[in-house]
Amino acid sequence: MLLIAVAAVRISSRSGLPSLLLYLGIGVAIGQDGIFDVKFDNAELTQVIGYAALVVILAEGGLGTKWQEVRPALPAAVALSTAGVAVSVGVTAAAAHYLVGLEWRQALIIGAVVSSTDAAAVFSVLRKVPLPSRVTGVLEAESGFNDAPVLILVVAFSTAGPVDEWYLLVGKIALELAIGASIGLAAGFLGAFGLRRVALPASGLYPIAVMAIAVVAYAAGAMAHGSGFLAVYLASMVLGNSKLPHAPANRGFAEGLGWIAQIGMFVLLGLLVTPHELVDDFWPAVAVGLVLTMVARPLSVFLSLLPFRIPPREQILLSWAGLRGAVPIILATIPMVSGVEGSGRIFNIVFVLVVVYTLVQGPTLPWLARALKLGPGAPSDLGVESAPLERLRGHLLSVSIPEESRMHGVEVAELRLPAGAAVTLVVRDEKSFVPTPSTVLRRGDELLVVATDPVRDAAERRLRAVGQGGKLAGWLGTG
């Protein structure tokens, strides 16, 4: 099983497919009607494990989200995650009711379930598809934000008795988002404050501490009747942008946990489905998905982003990049646990819809970006890792120069680092040497920079500025 999972990771990374499909395929293959015919129908357990996995995936995504990219796109992402979700739910529910013949409660559940973009699918695709920073920022923030309002809608529609009035639902969504955001930001800032000032006995404890803070943020948000998912995403985003010790190691550890969570969650969802029951719901799922992809999603993007004057080409890409993944399938277990009539059919429709349209959208997204002539924005940022030197009251910065960095061709002296900071070692082609002021830096180099505590932040800002603007950074307005 481990070898199969590793092979799936390799295939997904090379093909551009979100790993969802491959892991779901593994689950289906070993589940009912599959090779081993494993019987598994515990929707409640699947839901609990799915929530736990989603917490890890959101934490990993938040740690890797760059605030400078998300900040300009934040208002658009919030609009898309709230007003856009409302438009998508309405249009998709109407299609499920009139085209497929579902009752309105079932149609609204499907509309809400599939209106959530999946963080795991979006993050995995964005790692391989270079897009403009504004588009990337909107997609990342939207996938982190929209789980909360969608979850509230699905629970409300799945509850026995009449559904609350629309204004009560809006108020409940706003309150839960506010509580979750407040707790997430507080947990992130307090956690970052503590980790910067408390020297842990081993460097390997920092990644564990970061993930623990993210999990605590989710728990606190959920216990306060707020959005735990929004809390964990915002807490992780604050931690990921707080210049913590061993930051790359923190992100690498979270990424590894994210892969484990994805593999386990997707395989379990594949086990839950019964393949022969999908046949009757295949074409209804395709019909609903077609309306969702070609009408509901573009309309939600157009209407919710009207105030932001986003160019039509970027709106087209945002419409196509609204990837669904494991989150809608997990949400589809809520009506099953609640005993909603026809919940089995709802799950089957959502499962088929997600698989079919992820298979279509994921691989074609790079082609569409090229066709729309939407390439990457600024050059790749430097990878900077900081290790505190408590007794010396200084910091050792490990700097990696990526391929597209404008630091390539810059001499060490032209870095113009602040007094109290110096490049002490360069590693090039697996060989290390002490640089001179005239040493020319190259792409792929790794630098060791020692900085005293008072100038540590200034030194990192200067390094990043040169990486973005070259040797003239500062005079050209960069840095």
Mean pLDDT on 270-288: 93
Per the prediction, the chain carries an average pLDDT of 87
pTM: 0.80
Identify the helix (H) or strand (E) that includes residue 387: strand 383-389
pLDDT tens across 45-96, in order?
Answer: 999 999 999 999 899 989 988 888 788 889 999 999 999 999 999 999 999 9
pLDDT tens across 302-360, in order?
Answer: 999 999 989 999 999 999 988 888 889 999 999 999 999 999 999 999 999 999 998 89
24/27 Cα distance (integer angstroms): 5
9/71 Cα distance (integer angstroms): 31
Q: Band the pLDDT of 377: cuts 50, 70, 90.
A: low
Mean pLDDT on 451-477: 83
pLDDT of residue 284: 96
Q: Which residues pair with 446 in a beta bridge?
A: 400, 427
Q: Look up residue 471 and give its DSSP letter.
A: G
149/172 Cα distance (integer angstroms): 9
Q: How far is CA 448 from the centre of its chain?
A: 31
pLDDT of residue 42: 92
Q: What percent of the chain has pLDDT above 70?
A: 89
Residue 255 has pLDDT above 70, yes or no: yes
Mean pLDDT on 417-436: 93
395/178 Cα distance (integer angstroms): 37
Select from 230, 55, 231, 65 the least CA-distant residue to 133.
Answer: 65
